[in-house]
Amino acid sequence: MDYNFDEVINRRNTNSVKWDETDSPDILPMWVADMDFKTAPEIIQALENRISHGVFGYSVTSAAFFDAVIMWWKKRHGFLLQKEWILPVVGVIPAMSAAIRAITEKGDKIIIQPPVYNHFYSTIENSGREIVENNLIYKDGFYTIDFDDLEKKASDSKAKIAIVCNPHNPVGRVWTRQELNRIAEICKKYGVVVFSDEIHSDIVLNGEKHIPFASLDHSLVSNSITFSSISKTFNLAGLHVGYVFTTNEELYSSVKSVLVMQEMELLSPFATTALIAAYEKGEQWLEKLKSYVYENFLFLKQYIEEELPQVKVMQLQATYLVWLDIRSFKLSSDQIAKRLLDNQKLWVNSGTMYGKAGEGFLRINIACPKKILQDGLQRIKKELLQE
């Protein structure tokens, strides 16, 4: 089947966070992580069939949901899950919040690896736990993990969880088996539970391979929980569906009990229908999407190399979020982001949204038709060439 990722879809007046959270109709939003593409037609068809039934009462999470998740992880990531390990959830962040409450106390410390997804900060803060930053190392245009610092921070008896963004938003890294093993060894040594956020694991580009944290040697990773979803992969964030899995019965029961206590167990019939259709029928669409996103990345890279060589583009191993090094302009990320918004009506994320370690960077979402990407890049050029 042909899928048309070039189609420009008007998303205004659809209650879109990305497009409607501004009164200004001329603002081009290239910030929040959802895509400007329609989801796979196979998913739309399944939802239409479900809608035409007309009755939308409480819905159980059927065996087909678990089968679809198991089939997907085996086929796409070579990892065999068991049904007893999986818990359906309404989203990665709500699940993470529940899991934090389930296994830690107020005042406990949670390690994150900035610059990193902003909601890790808010989730930890909202639950009254303390954030500990294990900043990534940025050298020669490439990010790696500071293992010595991680070990120092994990050895604190108050450190209870380390959140690993695997693959990493916003720096676009796919962590290698060696890197994940080292994290696992350190966390096991100090009894720190690893939360592996694998929401971006399906959008791994240009021949890179996602390594599920849970697929490492079992003795190292039994103390971990993986979080994932169809929301990034198939552009379904608004349907609020995801799942967590853990081989650890104790962790499973603790998380489940908080989900039950917070009445967060039941999914909507649309969520379940979409997940099953996505995993059973969405693979071909996903492959085409990945090619389109990577072509967009190559286009952006070439454009910036030719027109704005002062900006350095991080290699995009995964996600559709490109991390731009703008330090040569000697202005803060917030200043540049504000100028782009005020003068060029372009909305991108300032790097500082992802922690202090994001100073000097911008994040731009390239999951859009090429025409929109071109427009965004021209706006960046216009503003930055004045410098």
Ligand X SMILES: Cc1ncc(COP(=O)(O)O)c(C=O)c1O
Q: Which residues contact ligand X (rule: CB under 6 A)?
A: 33, 91-93, 117, 165, 169, 197, 199, 229, 231, 237, 242
Minimal distance, residue 120 CB to ligand X, in Å: 8
- Report the candidate in 241, 239, 288 with the shortest Cα–Cα distance to residue 47: 239
Tell the smallest beta-carbon distance from residue 246 to ligand X (Å). 17
Cβ 219 to ligand X shortest distance, Å = 27
Q: How far is the CB of 121 from ligand X (least distance, A)?
A: 12
Least distance between ligand X and beta carbon 66 (Å):
18
For ligand X, the closer of residues 36 and 303 by Cβ is 36
Q: Interior CA angle at 366 toward 293 and 162, to 5°?
A: 90
| Residue 268 Cβ vs ligand X, minimum distance, rounded to whole Å | 14
Query: What would the two tokens of residue 306 be?
Result: 């030719």
Strand partners, 130: 109
Q: Which is nearer to ligand X, 33 or 372 (CB)?
A: 33
Helix, strand, coil percentages (3-state) for the chain, rounded to 5, are 45, 15, 40
Of 116 and 384, CB closest to ligand X: 116
In terms of CB distance, is 308 or 362 closer to ligand X?
A: 362
Comparing CB distances to ligand X, the nearer of 11 and 339 is 11
The CA–CA distances, whole Å, from 207 to 55, 201, 287, 294 equal: 43, 13, 12, 11
Cβ nearer to ligand X, comparing 36 with 197: 197
Structure tokens given for 100: 């934090």
User: Which amino acid, one-letter code, is at 277?
Assistant: A
Q: How far apart are CA 198 and CA 77, in angstroms?
A: 11
- The least CB distance from residue 308 to ligand X, in Å, is 26
Q: Enumerate helices (H) and strands (E) in the chain, giving the number of each.
A: 13, 15
Cα torsion 351, 139, 200, 250: sign:
negative
Pick the closer one to ligand X by CB: 98 or 377.
98
Helix axes 370-384, 283-307, angle to 10 degrees: 20
- Contact (CB, 8 A) for 208 and 297: no
Q: Are 353 and 118 in contact (CB under 8 A)?
A: yes
Tell me the DSSP string of 343-363: HH-EE-EEGGGG-GGGTTEEE
Q: How far is the CB of 119 from ligand X (least distance, A)?
A: 6
Query: Encoding tokens for residue 141?
Result: 């245009």
- Distance separating alpha carbons of residues 282 and 115, to the nearest angstrom: 31
Smaller CB separation from ligand X, 303 or 361: 361
